[in-house]
Amino acid sequence: MASQDLVLKIKEFFKGDVNTDAETLTRYSRDASLFEVRPEIVVFPKDSGDIKNLVKFVNEQKRHGVGISLTPRSAGTDMSGGPLSSSIVVDVTKYMNRIKEIGDGYAVAEPGVFYRDFEKETLARGFLLPSYPASREMCALGGMVANNAGGEKSLSYGKTDQYVEELKVVLADGEEHVFRPLSMQELEEKKQEASFEGTVYKKIADLVENHAEVLRTAKPKVSKNSTGYLLWDIYDKSAGTFNLSRVFVGSQGTLGIITEIKFKLIRPKLHSRLLVIFLPSVSALAGICGRVLEHHPESFESYDDNTFKVALKFFPAVAKSFHASLLRLAIDFLPEFRMVLTGGIPKLVLIAEFTGDTPEEATRKAEEAKKDILSFGFPVRVTRSEREAKKYWTLRRESYNILRHHVKGLRTAPFIDDFVIEPNRLPEFLPRLYGILDKYNLVYTVAGHVGDGNFHIIPLMNLASPDVRQTIKNLSGEVYKLVFEFGGSMSGEHNDGLIRGAFLRMMYGDEVFRLFEETKRVFDTDGIFNPGKKTEAALEYALDHIVKK
Protein backbone atom coordinates (compact mmCIF):
# COMPACT_ATOMS: atom_id res chain seq x y z
CA MET A 1 0.00 0.00 0.00
CA ALA A 2 1.31 3.42 -0.91
CA SER A 3 2.39 5.78 1.80
CA GLN A 4 -0.75 7.69 2.75
CA ASP A 5 1.39 10.74 3.39
CA LEU A 6 2.73 10.60 -0.17
CA VAL A 7 -0.77 10.29 -1.64
CA LEU A 8 -2.06 13.20 0.43
CA LYS A 9 0.83 15.38 -0.73
CA ILE A 10 0.11 14.61 -4.37
CA LYS A 11 -3.59 15.38 -3.94
CA GLU A 12 -2.71 18.84 -2.63
CA PHE A 13 -1.65 20.02 -6.11
CA PHE A 14 -3.01 17.38 -8.50
CA LYS A 15 -6.29 18.14 -10.29
CA GLY A 16 -6.68 14.65 -11.76
CA ASP A 17 -7.27 11.31 -10.02
CA VAL A 18 -4.89 9.57 -7.62
CA ASN A 19 -5.68 5.87 -7.13
CA THR A 20 -4.21 3.25 -4.82
CA ASP A 21 -7.08 0.75 -4.62
CA ALA A 22 -6.23 -2.91 -5.17
CA GLU A 23 -8.27 -3.24 -8.37
CA THR A 24 -6.49 -0.33 -10.08
CA LEU A 25 -3.03 -1.45 -8.96
CA THR A 26 -3.70 -4.97 -10.21
CA ARG A 27 -4.93 -3.72 -13.59
CA TYR A 28 -1.89 -1.49 -14.07
CA SER A 29 0.55 -4.21 -13.07
CA ARG A 30 0.16 -5.75 -16.54
CA ASP A 31 0.36 -4.78 -20.19
CA ALA A 32 0.40 -7.09 -23.25
CA SER A 33 3.82 -8.47 -22.29
CA LEU A 34 4.63 -11.49 -20.17
CA PHE A 35 5.53 -9.36 -17.13
CA GLU A 36 3.81 -8.23 -13.97
CA VAL A 37 5.04 -5.29 -11.87
CA ARG A 38 2.68 -3.82 -9.29
CA PRO A 39 2.73 -0.01 -9.05
CA GLU A 40 2.46 1.90 -5.79
CA ILE A 41 0.21 4.66 -7.18
CA VAL A 42 -1.65 5.26 -10.45
CA VAL A 43 -2.43 8.85 -11.38
CA PHE A 44 -4.61 10.26 -14.15
CA PRO A 45 -3.48 13.83 -14.97
CA LYS A 46 -6.06 16.35 -16.15
CA ASP A 47 -3.57 18.28 -18.26
CA SER A 48 0.08 19.17 -18.78
CA GLY A 49 -0.07 21.37 -15.67
CA ASP A 50 -0.67 18.28 -13.56
CA ILE A 51 2.33 16.57 -15.14
CA LYS A 52 4.57 19.58 -14.63
CA ASN A 53 3.65 19.79 -10.95
CA LEU A 54 4.06 16.05 -10.55
CA VAL A 55 7.58 16.11 -12.01
CA LYS A 56 8.58 18.98 -9.71
CA PHE A 57 7.12 17.12 -6.73
CA VAL A 58 8.98 13.89 -7.54
CA ASN A 59 12.23 15.81 -7.99
CA GLU A 60 11.77 17.37 -4.57
CA GLN A 61 11.00 14.00 -2.99
CA LYS A 62 14.09 12.46 -4.61
CA ARG A 63 16.25 15.20 -3.10
CA HIS A 64 14.89 14.17 0.29
CA GLY A 65 15.78 10.52 -0.32
CA VAL A 66 12.32 9.23 -1.29
CA GLY A 67 12.75 6.55 -3.98
CA ILE A 68 9.90 7.31 -6.37
CA SER A 69 9.65 7.69 -10.13
CA LEU A 70 7.18 8.36 -12.96
CA THR A 71 6.28 5.95 -15.75
CA PRO A 72 3.93 7.29 -18.46
CA ARG A 73 1.32 4.92 -19.87
CA SER A 74 -1.31 5.21 -22.57
CA ALA A 75 -3.35 2.16 -23.69
CA GLY A 76 -1.13 -0.53 -22.15
CA THR A 77 -0.84 -2.59 -25.35
CA ASP A 78 2.96 -2.65 -25.11
CA MET A 79 4.47 -6.15 -25.55
CA SER A 80 7.82 -5.41 -23.89
CA GLY A 81 6.82 -4.26 -20.38
CA GLY A 82 7.61 -0.63 -21.16
CA PRO A 83 4.81 1.00 -19.11
CA LEU A 84 5.23 -1.19 -16.01
CA SER A 85 6.56 0.30 -12.76
CA SER A 86 6.74 -0.38 -9.04
CA SER A 87 6.35 3.35 -8.31
CA ILE A 88 3.97 5.90 -9.92
CA VAL A 89 2.24 5.12 -13.22
CA VAL A 90 0.91 8.16 -15.13
CA ASP A 91 -2.06 7.19 -17.33
CA VAL A 92 -2.85 9.86 -19.94
CA THR A 93 -5.84 8.16 -21.62
CA LYS A 94 -8.53 9.19 -19.13
CA TYR A 95 -8.29 12.97 -19.50
CA MET A 96 -5.48 13.89 -21.92
CA ASN A 97 -7.34 12.48 -24.91
CA ARG A 98 -8.30 15.46 -27.07
CA ILE A 99 -7.77 15.81 -30.80
CA LYS A 100 -6.97 19.52 -30.90
CA GLU A 101 -6.71 20.16 -34.63
CA ILE A 102 -6.82 18.40 -37.98
CA GLY A 103 -5.53 20.48 -40.84
CA ASP A 104 -4.33 20.00 -44.39
CA GLY A 105 -1.94 17.08 -44.01
CA TYR A 106 -1.38 17.34 -40.25
CA ALA A 107 -3.08 16.80 -36.90
CA VAL A 108 -2.41 17.86 -33.32
CA ALA A 109 -3.49 15.59 -30.48
CA GLU A 110 -2.80 14.64 -26.89
CA PRO A 111 -1.04 11.34 -26.13
CA GLY A 112 -4.09 9.66 -24.61
CA VAL A 113 -6.11 9.65 -27.85
CA PHE A 114 -6.89 6.12 -29.02
CA TYR A 115 -5.70 5.51 -32.54
CA ARG A 116 -9.09 4.12 -33.63
CA ASP A 117 -10.76 7.44 -32.70
CA PHE A 118 -7.96 9.45 -34.27
CA GLU A 119 -8.16 7.49 -37.52
CA LYS A 120 -11.93 7.93 -37.73
CA GLU A 121 -11.53 11.72 -37.56
CA THR A 122 -8.59 11.94 -39.97
CA LEU A 123 -10.19 9.65 -42.54
CA ALA A 124 -13.32 11.81 -42.44
CA ARG A 125 -11.08 14.56 -43.81
CA GLY A 126 -9.28 12.29 -46.28
CA PHE A 127 -6.08 11.74 -44.27
CA LEU A 128 -4.35 8.86 -42.48
CA LEU A 129 -1.50 8.28 -40.03
CA PRO A 130 -0.10 5.16 -41.76
CA SER A 131 2.27 3.90 -39.04
CA TYR A 132 -0.44 2.16 -37.01
CA PRO A 133 0.47 -1.23 -35.48
CA ALA A 134 -1.58 -4.44 -35.48
CA SER A 135 -3.14 -3.27 -32.21
CA ARG A 136 -4.76 -0.34 -34.06
CA GLU A 137 -8.13 -0.95 -32.38
CA MET A 138 -6.62 -0.78 -28.87
CA CYS A 139 -3.47 1.38 -28.90
CA ALA A 140 -3.13 5.11 -28.23
CA LEU A 141 -1.03 7.81 -29.87
CA GLY A 142 1.37 8.30 -26.96
CA GLY A 143 2.36 4.65 -27.04
CA MET A 144 2.83 4.77 -30.80
CA VAL A 145 5.33 7.59 -30.38
CA ALA A 146 7.01 6.08 -27.31
CA ASN A 147 7.59 2.77 -29.10
CA ASN A 148 8.16 4.21 -32.58
CA ALA A 149 5.32 2.01 -33.79
CA GLY A 150 5.09 0.50 -37.23
CA GLY A 151 2.88 -2.01 -38.93
CA GLU A 152 1.57 -3.33 -42.19
CA LYS A 153 1.92 -0.04 -44.10
CA SER A 154 5.48 0.68 -42.91
CA LEU A 155 6.83 -1.02 -46.03
CA SER A 156 5.63 1.93 -48.12
CA TYR A 157 5.23 4.72 -45.60
CA GLY A 158 7.76 4.11 -42.83
CA LYS A 159 7.33 4.21 -39.07
CA THR A 160 6.01 6.77 -36.58
CA ASP A 161 9.29 8.70 -36.39
CA GLN A 162 8.72 9.89 -39.95
CA TYR A 163 5.36 11.43 -39.01
CA VAL A 164 6.17 13.29 -35.80
CA GLU A 165 6.59 16.92 -36.74
CA GLU A 166 6.57 18.45 -33.27
CA LEU A 167 6.34 17.34 -29.64
CA LYS A 168 5.53 19.02 -26.38
CA VAL A 169 7.37 17.28 -23.54
CA VAL A 170 7.68 17.87 -19.81
CA LEU A 171 11.36 17.46 -18.98
CA ALA A 172 13.16 16.88 -15.71
CA ASP A 173 12.97 20.60 -14.82
CA GLY A 174 9.19 20.28 -14.55
CA GLU A 175 8.55 22.57 -17.51
CA GLU A 176 6.87 21.86 -20.84
CA HIS A 177 9.15 22.28 -23.86
CA VAL A 178 8.48 22.25 -27.61
CA PHE A 179 10.74 20.11 -29.82
CA ARG A 180 10.78 20.50 -33.60
CA PRO A 181 13.38 20.70 -36.39
CA LEU A 182 15.74 23.63 -35.85
CA SER A 183 17.99 25.31 -38.37
CA MET A 184 21.68 25.47 -37.49
CA GLN A 185 21.26 29.12 -36.51
CA GLU A 186 18.34 28.27 -34.23
CA LEU A 187 20.38 25.44 -32.69
CA GLU A 188 23.25 27.78 -31.88
CA GLU A 189 20.82 30.18 -30.23
CA LYS A 190 19.31 27.35 -28.16
CA LYS A 191 22.76 26.24 -26.99
CA GLN A 192 23.42 29.72 -25.65
CA GLU A 193 20.33 29.74 -23.43
CA ALA A 194 21.03 29.63 -19.68
CA SER A 195 18.31 27.08 -19.03
CA PHE A 196 17.80 23.36 -18.64
CA GLU A 197 16.62 23.16 -22.24
CA GLY A 198 19.69 25.05 -23.43
CA THR A 199 21.94 22.65 -21.54
CA VAL A 200 20.15 19.66 -23.10
CA TYR A 201 20.61 21.05 -26.60
CA LYS A 202 24.29 21.82 -26.01
CA LYS A 203 25.15 18.42 -24.54
CA ILE A 204 23.22 16.36 -27.08
CA ALA A 205 24.53 18.44 -30.00
CA ASP A 206 28.09 17.90 -28.76
CA LEU A 207 27.46 14.19 -28.26
CA VAL A 208 26.05 13.75 -31.77
CA GLU A 209 28.74 15.87 -33.42
CA ASN A 210 31.69 14.33 -31.55
CA HIS A 211 30.55 10.79 -32.31
CA ALA A 212 29.02 11.28 -35.75
CA GLU A 213 30.96 8.48 -37.46
CA VAL A 214 30.35 6.02 -34.62
CA LEU A 215 26.62 6.73 -34.73
CA ARG A 216 26.48 6.53 -38.51
CA THR A 217 28.07 3.09 -38.38
CA ALA A 218 25.88 1.98 -35.47
CA LYS A 219 22.56 2.65 -37.21
CA PRO A 220 21.11 -0.78 -38.06
CA LYS A 221 21.16 -1.45 -41.81
CA VAL A 222 17.57 -2.63 -41.89
CA SER A 223 14.35 -0.85 -42.75
CA LYS A 224 12.93 -0.75 -39.20
CA ASN A 225 14.45 -0.31 -35.76
CA SER A 226 13.04 0.59 -32.34
CA THR A 227 16.01 -0.21 -30.11
CA GLY A 228 18.11 2.21 -28.08
CA TYR A 229 17.84 5.96 -28.71
CA LEU A 230 17.71 7.14 -32.33
CA LEU A 231 20.70 9.47 -31.97
CA TRP A 232 21.74 9.01 -35.61
CA ASP A 233 18.49 10.63 -36.78
CA ILE A 234 18.74 13.89 -34.80
CA TYR A 235 21.01 15.77 -37.19
CA ASP A 236 19.74 15.81 -40.77
CA LYS A 237 22.66 17.15 -42.80
CA SER A 238 20.79 17.13 -46.11
CA ALA A 239 18.05 19.35 -44.65
CA GLY A 240 20.39 21.30 -42.42
CA THR A 241 18.24 20.67 -39.34
CA PHE A 242 18.70 19.44 -35.80
CA ASN A 243 15.60 17.72 -34.45
CA LEU A 244 15.48 16.58 -30.82
CA SER A 245 11.94 15.26 -31.21
CA ARG A 246 13.58 12.28 -32.93
CA VAL A 247 15.24 11.14 -29.71
CA PHE A 248 11.91 11.05 -27.86
CA VAL A 249 10.34 8.81 -30.51
CA GLY A 250 11.03 5.28 -29.34
CA SER A 251 12.37 6.38 -25.94
CA GLN A 252 9.54 4.69 -23.98
CA GLY A 253 9.07 7.61 -21.60
CA THR A 254 12.62 7.39 -20.24
CA LEU A 255 13.57 10.99 -21.15
CA GLY A 256 10.43 12.96 -20.33
CA ILE A 257 6.63 12.84 -20.57
CA ILE A 258 4.99 13.73 -23.89
CA THR A 259 1.96 16.01 -23.56
CA GLU A 260 1.13 16.88 -27.19
CA ILE A 261 1.99 15.55 -30.65
CA LYS A 262 1.80 17.12 -34.09
CA PHE A 263 1.65 14.45 -36.79
CA LYS A 264 2.15 14.66 -40.52
CA LEU A 265 -0.62 12.76 -42.35
CA ILE A 266 -0.94 11.19 -45.80
CA ARG A 267 -3.80 10.86 -48.27
CA PRO A 268 -4.42 7.10 -48.52
CA LYS A 269 -5.40 5.22 -51.64
CA LEU A 270 -9.08 4.33 -51.43
CA HIS A 271 -9.10 0.88 -53.04
CA SER A 272 -7.04 -2.26 -52.55
CA ARG A 273 -6.64 -5.85 -53.68
CA LEU A 274 -4.64 -8.61 -52.07
CA LEU A 275 -2.31 -11.00 -53.82
CA VAL A 276 -2.28 -14.15 -51.68
CA ILE A 277 0.53 -16.69 -52.12
CA PHE A 278 0.69 -20.11 -50.44
CA LEU A 279 4.24 -21.41 -50.00
CA PRO A 280 4.91 -25.10 -49.17
CA SER A 281 8.44 -24.23 -47.93
CA VAL A 282 10.66 -21.22 -47.29
CA SER A 283 13.18 -22.21 -49.96
CA ALA A 284 11.66 -19.92 -52.60
CA LEU A 285 10.92 -17.06 -50.19
CA ALA A 286 13.72 -14.74 -51.29
CA GLY A 287 12.84 -15.10 -54.96
CA ILE A 288 9.14 -14.60 -54.31
CA CYS A 289 9.78 -11.57 -52.08
CA GLY A 290 12.09 -9.94 -54.58
CA ARG A 291 9.65 -10.45 -57.44
CA VAL A 292 6.64 -9.15 -55.48
CA LEU A 293 8.55 -6.12 -54.17
CA GLU A 294 9.40 -5.13 -57.76
CA HIS A 295 5.68 -4.37 -58.15
CA HIS A 296 5.70 -1.99 -55.13
CA PRO A 297 2.93 -3.35 -52.89
CA GLU A 298 1.76 -1.01 -50.16
CA SER A 299 1.91 -3.85 -47.62
CA PHE A 300 3.54 -7.28 -47.71
CA GLU A 301 2.67 -9.53 -44.77
CA SER A 302 2.96 -13.19 -43.80
CA TYR A 303 1.90 -15.81 -41.31
CA ASP A 304 3.04 -19.40 -40.91
CA ASP A 305 1.50 -22.87 -40.77
CA ASN A 306 1.23 -22.76 -36.97
CA THR A 307 -0.85 -19.58 -37.20
CA PHE A 308 -3.06 -21.31 -39.76
CA LYS A 309 -3.44 -24.34 -37.46
CA VAL A 310 -4.35 -22.07 -34.54
CA ALA A 311 -7.04 -20.44 -36.69
CA LEU A 312 -8.50 -23.85 -37.54
CA LYS A 313 -8.37 -25.00 -33.92
CA PHE A 314 -10.06 -21.87 -32.60
CA PHE A 315 -12.40 -21.28 -35.51
CA PRO A 316 -15.24 -19.92 -33.32
CA ALA A 317 -12.88 -17.23 -31.97
CA VAL A 318 -11.89 -16.35 -35.51
CA ALA A 319 -15.57 -16.07 -36.45
CA LYS A 320 -16.09 -13.68 -33.54
CA SER A 321 -13.22 -11.51 -34.80
CA PHE A 322 -14.96 -11.42 -38.17
CA HIS A 323 -18.33 -10.61 -36.58
CA ALA A 324 -19.65 -13.50 -38.68
CA SER A 325 -21.48 -16.76 -38.09
CA LEU A 326 -19.54 -20.02 -38.19
CA LEU A 327 -21.44 -21.09 -41.29
CA ARG A 328 -20.78 -17.82 -43.13
CA LEU A 329 -17.08 -17.96 -42.26
CA ALA A 330 -16.82 -21.64 -43.21
CA ILE A 331 -18.21 -20.78 -46.62
CA ASP A 332 -15.70 -17.95 -46.98
CA PHE A 333 -12.84 -20.33 -46.19
CA LEU A 334 -13.94 -23.17 -48.50
CA PRO A 335 -11.08 -22.54 -50.99
CA GLU A 336 -8.52 -22.78 -48.19
CA PHE A 337 -10.12 -25.94 -46.79
CA ARG A 338 -9.96 -27.58 -50.24
CA MET A 339 -6.31 -26.54 -50.59
CA VAL A 340 -5.43 -28.06 -47.20
CA LEU A 341 -7.21 -31.32 -48.08
CA THR A 342 -5.41 -31.64 -51.41
CA GLY A 343 -1.99 -30.20 -50.68
CA GLY A 344 -1.64 -29.79 -46.93
CA ILE A 345 -1.24 -26.65 -44.85
CA PRO A 346 1.17 -24.16 -46.48
CA LYS A 347 4.37 -23.37 -44.60
CA LEU A 348 3.84 -19.64 -45.19
CA VAL A 349 0.95 -17.54 -46.42
CA LEU A 350 2.05 -14.26 -48.01
CA ILE A 351 -0.37 -11.38 -48.53
CA ALA A 352 0.68 -8.42 -50.67
CA GLU A 353 -1.66 -5.44 -50.77
CA PHE A 354 -1.86 -3.32 -53.91
CA THR A 355 -3.72 -0.02 -53.78
CA GLY A 356 -5.10 2.48 -56.25
CA ASP A 357 -7.44 5.42 -56.69
CA THR A 358 -9.92 3.08 -58.38
CA PRO A 359 -10.79 -0.62 -57.95
CA GLU A 360 -9.57 -1.23 -61.48
CA GLU A 361 -6.14 0.27 -60.76
CA ALA A 362 -5.69 -1.83 -57.61
CA THR A 363 -6.81 -4.99 -59.43
CA ARG A 364 -4.49 -4.33 -62.36
CA LYS A 365 -1.46 -3.98 -60.09
CA ALA A 366 -2.27 -7.20 -58.22
CA GLU A 367 -2.90 -9.14 -61.43
CA GLU A 368 0.39 -7.95 -62.94
CA ALA A 369 2.24 -9.16 -59.86
CA LYS A 370 0.35 -12.47 -59.98
CA LYS A 371 1.28 -13.01 -63.61
CA ASP A 372 4.93 -12.34 -62.81
CA ILE A 373 5.15 -14.99 -60.07
CA LEU A 374 3.09 -17.79 -61.63
CA SER A 375 6.33 -19.35 -62.84
CA PHE A 376 7.16 -20.31 -59.26
CA GLY A 377 4.35 -22.85 -59.43
CA PHE A 378 2.71 -22.10 -56.07
CA PRO A 379 -1.02 -21.56 -55.41
CA VAL A 380 -1.85 -17.87 -55.75
CA ARG A 381 -4.99 -15.78 -55.97
CA VAL A 382 -6.12 -12.16 -56.14
CA THR A 383 -9.00 -11.16 -53.86
CA ARG A 384 -12.10 -9.73 -55.50
CA SER A 385 -13.84 -8.06 -52.59
CA GLU A 386 -13.23 -6.39 -49.26
CA ARG A 387 -14.88 -9.33 -47.50
CA GLU A 388 -12.54 -11.82 -49.14
CA ALA A 389 -9.51 -9.71 -48.20
CA LYS A 390 -10.72 -9.34 -44.63
CA LYS A 391 -10.35 -13.03 -43.84
CA TYR A 392 -6.61 -12.90 -44.57
CA TRP A 393 -6.08 -9.62 -42.72
CA THR A 394 -7.99 -10.90 -39.69
CA LEU A 395 -5.85 -14.03 -39.43
CA ARG A 396 -2.73 -11.89 -39.68
CA ARG A 397 -3.84 -9.18 -37.24
CA GLU A 398 -5.73 -11.29 -34.71
CA SER A 399 -3.50 -14.37 -34.41
CA TYR A 400 -1.77 -13.04 -31.30
CA ASN A 401 -5.01 -12.13 -29.54
CA ILE A 402 -6.54 -15.51 -30.38
CA LEU A 403 -3.51 -17.22 -28.88
CA ARG A 404 -3.48 -14.90 -25.90
CA HIS A 405 -7.11 -15.48 -24.92
CA HIS A 406 -7.96 -19.03 -25.99
CA VAL A 407 -5.04 -21.40 -25.49
CA LYS A 408 -5.51 -23.28 -22.22
CA GLY A 409 -2.59 -24.33 -20.06
CA LEU A 410 -0.05 -22.37 -22.13
CA ARG A 411 0.45 -18.63 -22.43
CA THR A 412 1.75 -16.36 -25.14
CA ALA A 413 5.32 -15.37 -24.28
CA PRO A 414 6.47 -12.45 -26.46
CA PHE A 415 10.20 -12.18 -25.83
CA ILE A 416 11.77 -12.83 -29.26
CA ASP A 417 8.83 -11.26 -31.01
CA ASP A 418 10.15 -8.49 -33.21
CA PHE A 419 13.49 -9.06 -34.97
CA VAL A 420 14.35 -7.55 -38.37
CA ILE A 421 16.80 -8.72 -41.00
CA GLU A 422 17.19 -7.96 -44.70
CA PRO A 423 14.43 -9.84 -46.60
CA ASN A 424 16.83 -11.32 -49.14
CA ARG A 425 18.58 -13.23 -46.33
CA LEU A 426 15.43 -14.89 -44.97
CA PRO A 427 15.92 -18.27 -46.72
CA GLU A 428 19.34 -18.59 -45.09
CA PHE A 429 18.19 -17.15 -41.76
CA LEU A 430 14.84 -18.88 -41.15
CA PRO A 431 16.06 -22.51 -41.19
CA ARG A 432 18.70 -21.61 -38.60
CA LEU A 433 16.07 -19.81 -36.53
CA TYR A 434 13.73 -22.81 -36.69
CA GLY A 435 16.66 -25.03 -35.67
CA ILE A 436 17.18 -22.97 -32.53
CA LEU A 437 13.48 -22.88 -31.67
CA ASP A 438 12.97 -26.59 -32.24
CA LYS A 439 15.76 -27.46 -29.79
CA TYR A 440 13.48 -26.17 -27.05
CA ASN A 441 10.44 -28.21 -28.15
CA LEU A 442 8.24 -25.10 -28.18
CA VAL A 443 4.88 -24.52 -29.79
CA TYR A 444 5.15 -21.18 -31.56
CA THR A 445 3.70 -19.06 -34.34
CA VAL A 446 5.54 -16.92 -36.84
CA ALA A 447 3.90 -13.90 -38.44
CA GLY A 448 5.20 -10.60 -39.64
CA HIS A 449 6.01 -8.00 -42.22
CA VAL A 450 7.87 -10.15 -44.73
CA GLY A 451 8.47 -7.21 -47.06
CA ASP A 452 10.55 -5.58 -44.30
CA GLY A 453 12.07 -8.81 -43.00
CA ASN A 454 10.35 -8.07 -39.67
CA PHE A 455 9.01 -11.19 -37.94
CA HIS A 456 7.04 -11.81 -34.76
CA ILE A 457 7.83 -15.13 -33.05
CA ILE A 458 5.31 -15.93 -30.32
CA PRO A 459 6.07 -19.10 -28.29
CA LEU A 460 3.36 -20.71 -26.16
CA MET A 461 4.73 -21.65 -22.75
CA ASN A 462 3.74 -22.78 -19.28
CA LEU A 463 5.03 -19.78 -17.36
CA ALA A 464 4.62 -21.59 -14.05
CA SER A 465 7.19 -24.20 -15.11
CA PRO A 466 10.38 -24.06 -13.01
CA ASP A 467 12.65 -24.01 -16.06
CA VAL A 468 10.79 -21.37 -18.08
CA ARG A 469 13.01 -18.48 -16.94
CA GLN A 470 16.18 -20.27 -17.95
CA THR A 471 14.60 -21.17 -21.28
CA ILE A 472 13.69 -17.55 -21.97
CA LYS A 473 17.18 -16.38 -21.00
CA ASN A 474 19.00 -18.97 -23.12
CA LEU A 475 16.68 -18.79 -26.12
CA SER A 476 16.79 -14.98 -26.22
CA GLY A 477 20.56 -15.04 -26.22
CA GLU A 478 20.74 -17.59 -29.04
CA VAL A 479 18.17 -15.88 -31.24
CA TYR A 480 19.63 -12.40 -30.82
CA LYS A 481 23.14 -13.67 -31.47
CA LEU A 482 21.84 -15.04 -34.77
CA VAL A 483 19.99 -11.81 -35.58
CA PHE A 484 23.10 -9.72 -34.94
CA GLU A 485 25.21 -12.13 -37.02
CA PHE A 486 22.93 -11.26 -39.94
CA GLY A 487 23.24 -7.52 -39.24
CA GLY A 488 19.68 -7.20 -37.98
CA SER A 489 17.82 -5.48 -35.17
CA MET A 490 16.17 -7.28 -32.26
CA SER A 491 13.16 -4.93 -32.43
CA GLY A 492 11.58 -3.33 -35.46
CA GLU A 493 8.44 -2.06 -33.69
CA HIS A 494 7.90 -3.29 -30.12
CA ASN A 495 10.91 -1.59 -28.49
CA ASP A 496 13.18 -2.65 -25.62
CA GLY A 497 11.13 -2.44 -22.43
CA LEU A 498 12.03 -4.94 -19.74
CA ILE A 499 12.83 -7.81 -22.07
CA ARG A 500 15.26 -6.45 -24.68
CA GLY A 501 17.07 -3.59 -22.95
CA ALA A 502 19.45 -6.07 -21.38
CA PHE A 503 20.69 -7.00 -24.88
CA LEU A 504 21.38 -3.42 -26.06
CA ARG A 505 25.09 -3.65 -25.25
CA MET A 506 25.29 -6.94 -27.14
CA MET A 507 23.62 -5.35 -30.17
CA TYR A 508 25.51 -2.04 -30.31
CA GLY A 509 28.77 -2.58 -28.41
CA ASP A 510 30.24 -0.72 -25.44
CA GLU A 511 30.87 2.67 -27.08
CA VAL A 512 27.36 3.21 -28.43
CA PHE A 513 25.85 1.82 -25.25
CA ARG A 514 27.76 4.48 -23.28
CA LEU A 515 26.32 7.15 -25.61
CA PHE A 516 22.84 5.85 -24.82
CA GLU A 517 23.65 6.04 -21.09
CA GLU A 518 24.89 9.61 -21.46
CA THR A 519 21.72 10.57 -23.35
CA LYS A 520 19.62 9.27 -20.48
CA ARG A 521 21.69 11.26 -17.95
CA VAL A 522 21.43 14.49 -19.96
CA PHE A 523 17.64 14.42 -20.07
CA ASP A 524 16.85 12.60 -16.82
CA THR A 525 19.32 14.12 -14.39
CA ASP A 526 17.81 12.56 -11.27
CA GLY A 527 16.58 9.28 -12.76
CA ILE A 528 12.85 9.92 -12.33
CA PHE A 529 11.52 8.84 -15.76
CA ASN A 530 10.65 5.16 -16.25
CA PRO A 531 13.73 3.63 -14.63
CA GLY A 532 14.77 0.07 -15.39
CA LYS A 533 14.23 0.37 -19.14
CA LYS A 534 16.62 0.89 -22.06
CA THR A 535 20.20 1.13 -20.71
CA GLU A 536 19.01 0.42 -17.15
CA ALA A 537 17.25 -2.83 -18.01
CA ALA A 538 18.39 -5.93 -16.14
CA LEU A 539 17.54 -9.38 -17.46
CA GLU A 540 17.33 -10.94 -14.01
CA TYR A 541 14.79 -8.33 -12.92
CA ALA A 542 12.70 -9.08 -15.98
CA LEU A 543 12.87 -12.84 -15.37
CA ASP A 544 11.86 -12.32 -11.73
CA HIS A 545 8.72 -10.46 -12.86
CA ILE A 546 7.36 -12.94 -15.39
CA VAL A 547 3.70 -13.67 -14.73
CA LYS A 548 3.00 -17.05 -13.22
CA LYS A 549 -0.08 -17.72 -15.32
Q: What is the pTM of this model?
A: 0.93
d(C-alpha 177, C-alpha 200), whole Å: 11
Buried b (16+ CB within 10 A) or exposed e, 330-341: eebbeebeebbe
**Residue pLDDT, tens place only, 20-51:** 999 999 999 999 999 999 999 999 999 999 99
pLDDT of residue 281: 85
Whole-number pLDDT of residue 345 = 81
Considering the chain, what is the average pLDDT of its residues? Answer: 91
* In the predicted structure, residue 314 carries a pLDDT above the cut 70: no
pLDDT value of residue 51 = 98
Cβ-contact 284, 376 below 8 angstroms: yes
d(CA 30, CA 154): 28
H or E stretch covering 317? helix 315-322
CB 119 within 8 A of CB 133: no
Question: Domain 99-264: which CATH class?
Answer: alpha beta
Q: What is the mean pLDDT of residues 259-288?
A: 92
Sketch the domain layout of the chain as residue ranges: 4-91, 99-264, 271-485
Higher pLDDT, 456 or 407: 456
Q: Characterize 122-157 residue by residue with b for buried, 16 or more Cβ atoms within 10 angstroms of its Cβ, and e for exposed.
A: beeeebbbbbbbbbbebbbbbbbbbbbbbbbbbbbb
Rounded mean pLDDT, 440-453 = 88
pLDDT class for 287, splitting at 50, 70, 90? confident
Q: Which helix (H) or strand (E) holds 11?
A: helix 4-13
Mean pLDDT of 514-538: 97
N- to C-terminal Cα distance for the chain?
Answer: 23
Q: According to DSSP H, which parts of 382-532 are helical? A: 386-406, 426-439, 468-485, 497-500, 504-508, 510-523
Query: What integer is the mean pLDDT of 399-405?
Result: 63
Taking CA atoms, 27 is separated from 38, 97, 161, 382, 455, in Å, by 9, 20, 30, 43, 29
Task: Give the CA dihedral 399, 401, 404, 406, nearest 10 degrees.
Answer: -80
Mean pLDDT across the stretch 70-74?
98
59-69 residue pLDDT tens? 999 999 999 99
Which CATH architecture fits 4-91? Answer: 2-Layer Sandwich (3.30)
Residue 1 has a pLDDT of 46
Comparing CA positions, the residue from 266, 223, 237 lying closest to residue 491 is 223
* CATH code matching the domain that covers 271-485, chosen among 3.90.1560.10, 3.40.462.10, 3.40.225.10, 3.40.120.10: 3.40.462.10
120-124, 265-269, 301-305, 367-371: least confident range: 301-305
Averaged pLDDT for residues 377-401: 79
> What was the pLDDT predicted at 237?
84
Residues 106-124 have pLDDT tens digits of 999 999 999 999 999 999 9
**476-506 pLDDT per residue, tens:** 999 999 999 999 999 999 999 999 999 999 9
Lowest mean pLDDT among 147-156, 193-202, 437-446: 437-446
531 φ, ψ to 5°? -65, 160
